[in-house]
Amino acid sequence: MHVIGNITIYLAFFLSIYAFIVYILGINKQDQRFIDSGKGATMGIFILASLSMVLMFVLLGTSQFQFEYVAHYTSSDLPLIYKLAALWAGNAGSLLLWTFFLTMYSAMVTFSKKMKRNPMTPYITSILLLNIMFFYFILSFVTQPFAILENTPVEGRGLNPMLQDPGMVFHPVTLYLGYVGLAVPFAFAIASLIVKNMDAFWIQMTRRWTIIAWAFLTLGNVIGGYWAYTELGWGGYWAWDPVENASFMPWLTVTAYLHSVMIQERKNMLKIWNLSLIILSYALTLFGTFLVRSGVLTSVHAFGETNLGAYFLVFMAFMVIFSMYLLMSRYQLIKKDTGQFEAYVSKESSFLINNLILLGGTFAVFWGTVFPLVSEAVRGTKVTVGVPFFNTVMSPILLSLLFLMAICPLIAWQRASFKNIKDKFLIPAIISVAVAIVIVVMGVQDAYPVLGFTIITFMILTHLVEFIRRTRARRHVTKEAVPVALFRLMIRSRRRYGGYIVHLGIALIAFGIVGANFDVERMDTLAIGETLTIGDYTLTYEQLGQRSDGVNESVFARLAIEKHGRDLGYIYPERVFYLNWEEPSTEVAVRSTLREDLYVVLSGWEEDRRATFQVKINPLVQWIWIGSFVLVLGAVFAIWGGRYGQVNPRYTGPERNVY
Amino acid sequence: MIRRRWLLVCILLFIMMPTYNHVQSQDIYTINSPEVKDIASHLAMEGHSEHDLATCTTMQRYYEEIAEMLNEGFSKQDILADYEAMYGEQGFREPNKTGFSLLAWILPFIALGAGTTAFIIRVTRQVKGHKQLTDEAREGQEKGVSQDSTENDIMKALIEEEKRHHL
């Protein structure tokens, strides 16, 4: 197994070098035989990567502790699902997963029907192969997934209890699918620069890829947030941790990119901007990987201090310099025939402001993340940049972003008239101001929550008004029933309405986030029969018990919940003692409603059965998860077939023979 | 006279009542007090600030310490100054708003400001350029119209001449 595993890695590494070389030869000599050989090799690499994955799953699933990775991250008592999910618990395994996705995407692009007979394919695959070569170099010589131990241990070290959660199964996979997915539009962008064909071809071809990557990035972040929320010590659902920031930054830049590409498609503008955005997004994925692997910043997500970060830093520097060189060398060519702004107030300018704020947000997150390192380098003092900093700096930025999201979609192309603005925004603005007044009258005095709820209301209303206005216009012409008109309207313009649904999802998420301003918490030690009151809830501590859960032991408490004198049942917070882990793991008990979450933690207990509880009321948290679902639904709606999806743009660059 | 005195005493009591309540409430700070949470939210707590209060004993110690200090009559500023004297800037979860650390706070907004300026310059230049182009095009169009009308007149005259000649 050890030999076969290593063969799959080394062979794939050499095959990736071979494929890259034959592609370059094929392109230079314009010889189809080389290209075909490269294509075959690309498929071969994917098959080898799949084999490595299957092999690794088998080793993990059957507890082959002679393998260093298996011994390090699993134990024989671990449920099968977590044995398998341990593949991405450590450096070597997670990089293997990353490489697998990269080879999968590369094979999909190379053998895609849309790319058939497309002369840009060899260039695109070559760029992807550069990435594959780097990852296989790491797997072959730096961190080997199939390394074996000199002495086989009887038992493995087991998996960190915090990783024994359904979040572990989905969070890394979705996040990697997002990260790696960005390599595809990057490869298209670089290929378009190499062949000097910077029209909207690469953008149209990569629209779906980018939305898919963006949707996975979103999902990855949200699942990570949910995981953090239910696993204690990770600071709620978002803690502005360096590694969380690392996945948030490309999300922001890709969001900016998805908006600005519309301007290039429609108005042939912002070509350099779009190329720069996709290069930046790709570079940020590598930067994120560098942060996780290097251990330069303290983070709950980090894989510990290794020398891997240095390799990623060098590779990132190489790719960025290479991309920037290409971009600069094509600068004059790209500038030619570029569209121009015709008015100050237009959809184009509003989208560019949206981009500006998204980029500003990215910079703020980046700067806050690296400031401890900058401070240490300049002054020798490693300061902490935590939640208070990010909340202060990011709140105005994200609120202005929400405001722009409310108005951008409804501003006319080219030139917006005053009448146009008044028609679309007057009623939502009046209602939103009324909502703000009601909120203030209800006793909310802080500026940010009032502003937040007002802007969110305005955003939801402007979007609903747009749905109503267009449905009415369609009904006027077709005389269809309202649901039919709405359905057909949306189905015929999936991209636009998918975008609107995404916006509504973000509004709901923002609603949940603003709710965090009203959270309350308390910590009390209670004897059996004593009660604790928080907000409208009264909790009575009734029982402290113990139970076995497989090889693990759990200590749990039973608390009866009452709200306004009404019996709401019981809640069971617990602490789980794992066989292979010193520290017990905390399993929180959550009672969720759309209004608020009652969040109870069993902190500790005494011999006389007195127990300490931390109880929180987290208002509106459920809206974050609902909003995320709506958001992903919108993304799927936008990429699902339809009029735009069926358009298969043609390559219009110089004549080339190989494809 | 007595009535007046009573009235004065009542007014004084009424004025002092909130102060009395305030002092009373200040005496019972616990780890659950929002004031304690507010002060704690600024502290790095030896790297434990991102942990959960329920399970982190270091964090709990800090909360208790803050509650104790508040109960002894220290203000928020006093307590934060005390921690700063002990740990310096590294004792906090956010950089100082002075000296080099000020850069952490202002640079994102400087970058945004620079971006906005660049955006305004770019849009202004392009809008002006577009307006100029549109004006030139209109002028050209007008010239074209007058040229066209002259040619039309000539054409019409020729047709009329031909008609007269042949019909």
pLDDT in tens, A426-472: 889 999 999 999 999 988 888 899 999 999 999 999 999 989 988 99
Q: Exposed/middle/buried for A321, CB within 10 Å: 0-12, 13-18, 19+?
A: exposed
User: Measured between CB atoms, does B50 come within 8 Å of chain A?
Assistant: yes
Of the residues B37, B66, B80, B127, the best mutation for testing chain A's interface (the one with the most A CB atoms within 10 Å of its CB) is: B127
C-beta of residue A82 within 8 angstroms of C-beta of residue A164: yes
pTM of the model: 0.88
A586/B47 touch (CB, cutoff 8 Å), yes or no: no
Q: Does the pLDDT of residue A645 top 50, yes or no?
A: no
Question: A237: which chain B residues are within 8 Å (Cβ-Cβ)?
Answer: none
- Tell me how close the Cα of A279 comes to any Cα of chain B, in angstroms: 19
Q: Which residue has the tokens 């890695």?
A: A9
C-beta of residue A616 within 8 angstroms of C-beta of residue A608: no
Q: Would you state the pLDDT for residue A266?
A: 81
Question: B31: which chain A residues are within 8 Å (Cβ-Cβ)?
Answer: 523
For residue A594, the Cα-to-chain-centroid distance in whole angstroms is 24
A521/B32 touch (CB, cutoff 8 Å), yes or no: yes
User: Measured between CB atoms, does A232 come within 8 Å of chain B?
Assistant: yes
Q: Of all helices (H) and strands (E), which one includes residue A431?
A: helix A418-441
The DSSP line for A28-95 is HHT-HHHHHHHHHHHHHHHHHHHHHHHHHHHHHHTT-TTBHHHHHH--TTS-HHHHHHGGGTSHHHHH
Residue A464: both structure tokens together: 């609903």
SS (H, E, C) chain B: CHHHHHHHHHHHHHHHHHHHHHHHHHCCCCCCCHHHHHHHCCECHHHCCCCCCCCCHHHHHHHHHHHHHHHCCCCHHHHHHHHHHHHHHHHECCCCCCHHHHHHHHHHHHHHHHHHHHHHHHHHHHHHHHHHHHHHHHHHHHHHHHHHHHHHHHHHHHHHHHHHHHC
d(C-alpha A499, C-alpha A606), whole Å: 54
Q: How confident is the model at residue A104 (pLDDT cuts 50, 70, 90)?
A: very high
Q: Would you state the pLDDT for residue B166?
A: 47
| Nearest CA-CA partner of A352 in A396, A411, A306 | A411
Which residues lie closer than 8 Å to A93 by C-beta, 6 or more apart? A56, A69, A73, A86, A87, A145
Residue from the list A352, A367, A521 with its beta carbon closest to the beta carbon of B119: A352
User: Measured between CB atoms, does A414 come within 8 Å of chain B?
Assistant: no
Q: Would you state the pLDDT for residue A307?
A: 76
Of the residues B33, B39, B46, B52, the best mutation for testing chain A's interface (the one with the most A CB atoms within 10 Å of its CB) is: B52
- Tell me how close the Cα of B69 comes to any Cα of chain A, in angstroms: 19
- A341 CB neighbour count, 10 Å cutoff: 24
Task: Give the range among A238-247, A311-320, A575-584 with minimum mean pLDDT.
Answer: A575-584
Residue A439: both structure tokens together: 């909120």
- A120 CB neighbour count, 10 Å cutoff: 22
Phi/psi for B93 (5° steps) reads: -90, 0
C-beta of residue B93 within 8 angstroms of C-beta of residue B49: yes
Residue from the list B93, B122, B127 with its beta carbon closest to the beta carbon of A384: B93
Question: A521: which chain B residues are within 8 Å (Cβ-Cβ)?
Answer: 32, 37, 53
The interface pTM score, or ipTM, of the predicted complex is: 0.85
Q: Does the pLDDT of residue B144 top 70, yes or no?
A: no
- Tell me how close the Cα of A406 comes to any Cα of chain B, in angstroms: 20
For residue B128, the chain A residue with the least C-alpha distance is A342
Strand partners, A523: A614
| Nearest CA-CA partner of B37 in B22, B56, B21, B53 | B53
Q: Would you state the pLDDT for residue B146?
A: 52
Question: A393: which chain B residues are within 8 Å (Cβ-Cβ)?
Answer: 105, 108-109
pLDDT digits (tens, 9 = 90+) for A477-536: 888 899 999 999 898 888 889 999 999 999 999 999 999 889 898 999 999 999 999 999
For residue B133, the chain A residue with the least C-alpha distance is A342
d(C-alpha A628, C-alpha A507), whole Å: 10
Question: A368: which chain B residues are within 8 Å (Cβ-Cβ)?
Answer: 104, 108
Q: Of all helices (H) and strands (E), which one includes residue A204?
A: helix A201-230
Q: Check residues A36 and A1 and name the one with the higher pLDDT.
A: A36
Residue from the list B47, B108, B115 with its beta carbon closest to the beta carbon of A393: B108
Q: Would you state the pLDDT for residue A248?
A: 94
Put simply, the chain B residues between 128 and 147 with a CB less than 8 A from any chain A CB are: 129-130
Which residues lie closer than 8 Å to A359 by C-beta, 6 or more apart? A252, A253, A256, B115
Task: Give the range among A50-64, A119-133, A339-353, B134-148 with minimum mean pLDDT.
Answer: B134-148
- Tell me how close the Cα of A375 comes to any Cα of chain B, in angstroms: 8
Q: How far is CA A203 from CA A164, A209, A210, A409, A610, in A?
A: 40, 10, 9, 20, 63
Q: Exposed/middle/buried for A14, CB within 10 Å: 0-12, 13-18, 19+?
A: middle
Q: Which residue has the tokens 């949200």?
A: A222
User: Measured between CB atoms, does B92 come within 8 Å of chain A?
Assistant: yes
Question: B51: which chain A residues are within 8 Å (Cβ-Cβ)?
Answer: 233
Q: Which residue has the tokens 């204690």?
A: A232
A384/B127 touch (CB, cutoff 8 Å), yes or no: no
Strand partners, A548: A553
For residue B54, the chain A residue with the least C-alpha distance is A603
Q: Does the pLDDT of residue A383 top 80, yes or no?
A: yes
Which residues lie closer than 8 Å to B83 by C-beta, 6 or more apart? B43, B91, B92
Residue from the list A368, A386, A523 with its beta carbon closest to the beta carbon of B31: A523
Q: Would you state the pLDDT for residue A644?
A: 44
Residue B103: both structure tokens together: 């850069």
For residue B64, the chain A residue with the least C-alpha distance is A523
pLDDT digits (tens, 9 = 90+) for A183-201: 999 999 999 999 888 777 8
Put simply, the chain A residues between 240 and 259 with a CB less than 8 A from any chain B CB are: 241
